[in-house]
Structure 1
């Protein structure tokens, strides 16, 4: 396994690469405008994974750093999957000092339940108490 380095230094982010992947390759952010991604990054704790200087993974967390956090936009580039990088990324996220002692840490996934279950994520204990406003095609409607 190549050395996989995770950083939260936003100056190291390859935002163009993140945008290309999210806006073109993911079902949840298809059509994401670059300016919306920039604003999201500015207002999030971001984690980037690198191999040999190339960014190959990304995730961001939105949090009040006291009681709640939400994990978003997690990806490992397809050619780097199956090497354990997503697990290392999750370990780094959950170990971050600003994300300790939270009462609730949420995420949404359509296909990575097994990965997240390894880190203690489960279906909501009381789904009847959760509500959302959800606009899945918002970027495509613009």
Structure 2
């Protein structure tokens, strides 16, 4: 999957990249913690772990992401096994850059990413159904057969705070 860890697309002055080294953890955390409805109050440690263990993360940047003057304006994660299943989550474009087609561009790039473009995709949304329908998503007619296990989020947060020795200095 290493070939997927450094994909880059460009549209005008915006860049989209799967390189995790370019991600701005504070920008992502700020949006998820303060502006999203799905991760309100999430800790920066939890966001760091989510990024670390997600196979594909997409960042949208104003400016070339390989330069220090880049500014992150969007994000998405795809949890996948690269063969059958992909789960799209934490999709956002910062409010000051919405309405410029960046969300659509992000979705175009995600659904055409090699190795996952033909997997079964799922996601949950409260308010973006029309966007996702444009990329082949539909309401699940078998939702009544779905099952979930919620777990204990407080204990999980304690668990992720235990030291794990991984060498990814850009996410510290």
Output the TM-score relative to the length of structure 1.
0.90
Instruction: State the 1:100 CA deviation.
Output: 2.7
Query: Aligned partners of 2:115 and 2:29: how far apart in 1?
Result: 26
Q: Which has the higher contact order (CA 8 A, sep 6+)?
A: 1
Over aligned residues, Cα RMSD in angstroms? 1.7
Question: 1:2 offset after TM fit, Å?
Answer: 4.7
Q: Does 1:48 align with 2:59?
A: yes
**C-alpha distance in 2 between matches for 1:133 and 1:28:** 17
| Matching of residues 19-34 of structure 1 within 5 Å | 19-34=29-44
How many residues were matched structurally? 137
Q: Does the alignment pair 1:73 with 2:90?
A: yes
Query: Of the two, which has the highest radius of gyration?
Result: 2
1:82 equivalent to 2:99? Answer: yes
Runs of 4 or more, structure 1, over 3 Å off, are: none
The alpha-carbon deviation at position 134 of structure 1 amounts to 4.2
Q: How much has 1:125 moved relative to structure 2?
A: 2.8
Q: Runs of 5+ in structure 1 lacking a partner?
A: none
Structure 2 unaligned regions, length at least 5: 1-10, 64-69, 158-172
Aligned to 2:142: 126
